[in-house]
Structure 1
Amino acid sequence: MDLPRRFTIRESSHRLLNPFTSEKLAGLGQSISPAPGTRVLDLACGKGELLCTWARDHGVTGTGVDISTVFVGDARARAVELGVADRVGFVHGDARGYIVDEPVDIAACVGATWIGPGVAGTVGLLRRSLAPGGMMLIGEPYWRREPEDEATVKGCGFAREDDLLSLPELLAQFGDLGCDVVEMTLADQDSWDRYVAAQWLNIRRWLDSNPDDELADEMRAELATTPVRHARYQREYLGWGVFVLMDH
């Protein structure tokens, strides 16, 4: 059980595996101000940057779960680097269906609601690990602009327009699921650029070092097409944010 190699190639230099900057992550932490000792569960945690930096900055404790052995290894190394390895731990495993024995104060799934599957299922999953009065963090894309045609939808990486909601529709969905939206931090176009454009350099450096790898042709084709697709579609039409929810 692991993540396909193409993902770890693309995001080899990233600390955050979403269109979210370190400054926005820190700002979100300051906004909700978790008290020292706050227990956090982060499903599909990637390289563990949320847990590690919030353990350093706010004194939280907790567990991250991710399917990628590479990302879990990077998360553990980051915890050591920041001096928080005694407060946070990381599990290699499938986040789908992962439930903690002792309820947590914050349950997060930032950018991977496919584990639910979907927003509704993910909220339901997080609730099963959440203590009464706790917070859920959901990272999710939305339509920043309504796509005009099928080419735009597919250029943004989706099969159908209704795979995503607009921001007002997404906020309404959270309410329909029994949640109050108590905070949100949204990505902007620069956030998308930093996330996506950094992948291009990662791919190019990997190609230069691995010209004969079995993935080389696939990654070369990706590098040749994604900058234009990003500028034409993703940058203009896709929004993304982290939404802080509490049950009614």
Structure 2
Amino acid sequence: MDRQQISRLAHARHPIAAPLADESVARLLDRATAGTERGRAVDLGCGEGAWLVRTLAAHPEWHAVGVDLDAAALTRARETATALGVARRIGLHHLDAREFTPREPFDLVLCVGATHAFGGLLPTLAAARELLAPGGWLLVGEGFWQCEPSRAALDGLGATRDDFADLATTTDRVVSAGWTPVFGHVSTEQEWDDYEFCWTGSLAEWALDQPDHPDAAAAREAADRHRTQWLHGYRGTFGFVTYLLRRS
């Protein structure tokens, strides 16, 4: 069972692929689009396009572009956009985000939970800078250490200590890269727990409902393994921050 299929099934009931509640997503998007009647947004690593379709549904004069390597997720994004009546205002590209070269800059660039596509936070900031129109906004989500990670936490995430920093150091790096945080949201423990239980639960439930499917056992194994890595590893250690940034 490939990683993309696991992710699609796991996010069936939590389309935002990050530990953010609906209210948090709405507040971040409200801040990012405030005062801009017409605009263009791009999501680098858009998955099923949840951020973009919400933006378009709330702003009839906005247009959007999504970029992702998961063709099936992009199909779901088109279906959702069609159902919401915004399909004519969104373009979806099956492409490595690093290879995306638009004709025009964007008023809003998003990369929430997908900085790995560029090799980390700082390369993501550099790539976003090239896509952003003057006065535009960047919404980027990244992990950080809430406390010193244990061996179990590192193993559970498949990470090293140096892959992330604490919140203060992460923010300092953003500022040093030439960006000013104008808003931000640190995911709460409740948001994390909801996200992880939803992730593992949706995947396990699919396996229970499809017992004869050739991937059922693999899905159940992936759900069980992820739950163990979270509860016995990085829960309470790994945090997530979503910054709303402007160029300094």
TM-score in same-fold range (> 0.5): yes
SS for the counterpart of 1:211 is: coil
SS for the counterpart of 2:125 is: helix
Aligned-pair CA distance for 1:39: 0.9
Partner of residue 176, structure 1: 176
Aligned-pair CA distance for 1:58: 3.1
Partner of residue 128, structure 1: 130
Matched-pair contact (CA < 8 Å) for 2:56–2:63: yes
Q: Deviations over 1:75-110 (max 9, x none)?
A: 112212222222222222221231211111111111
Aligned-pair CA distance for 1:63: 0.5
Cα RMSD between the aligned structures?
2.0
Fraction of identical pairs, as percent:
29
Partner of residue 79, structure 1: 81
Q: Deviations over 1:38-95 (max 9, x none)?
A: 1111110111111111112234321111111221111112212222222222222221
Partner of residue 67, structure 2: 65
Equivalent residue letter for 1:154: D
SS for the counterpart of 2:138 is: strand
Residue ranges of structure 1 left out of the alignment (5+ in a row): none
Q: Distance in 1 between matches of 2:159 and 2:3?
A: 22
Q: Distance in 2 between matches of 1:36 and 1:87?
A: 15
Is the aligned partner of 1:198 residue 2:198?
Answer: yes
SS for the counterpart of 1:128 is: helix
Aligned-pair CA distance for 1:34: 5.2
Aligned-pair CA distance for 1:204: 2.1
Partner of residue 52, structure 1: 53
Runs of 4+ in 1 over 4 A off after TM superposition: none
Partner of residue 137, structure 1: 139
Q: Which of residues 94, 102, 105 is equivalent to 2:104? A: 102
Matched-pair contact (CA < 8 Å) for 1:153–1:160: yes
Partner of residue 244, structure 2: 244
Q: Distance in 1 between matches of 2:234 and 2:23?
A: 21
Residue ranges of structure 2 left out of the alignment (5+ in a row): none
Matched-pair contact (CA < 8 Å) for 2:138–2:244: yes
Partner of residue 26, structure 1: 26
Partner of residue 152, structure 2: 151
Matched-pair contact (CA < 8 Å) for 1:34–1:58: no
Matched-pair contact (CA < 8 Å) for 1:200–1:223: yes
Q: What is the TM-score of this pair, normalised by structure 2?
A: 0.90
Partner of residue 42, structure 1: 43
Q: Deviations over 1:192-231 (max 9, x none)?
A: 1222211223222321344354543432223334334323
Q: Distance in 2 between matches of 1:114 and 1:107?
A: 16
SS for the counterpart of 1:165 is: coil
Equivalent residue letter for 2:123: G
Partner of residue 186, structure 1: 186
Is the aligned partner of 1:223 residue 2:227?
Answer: no
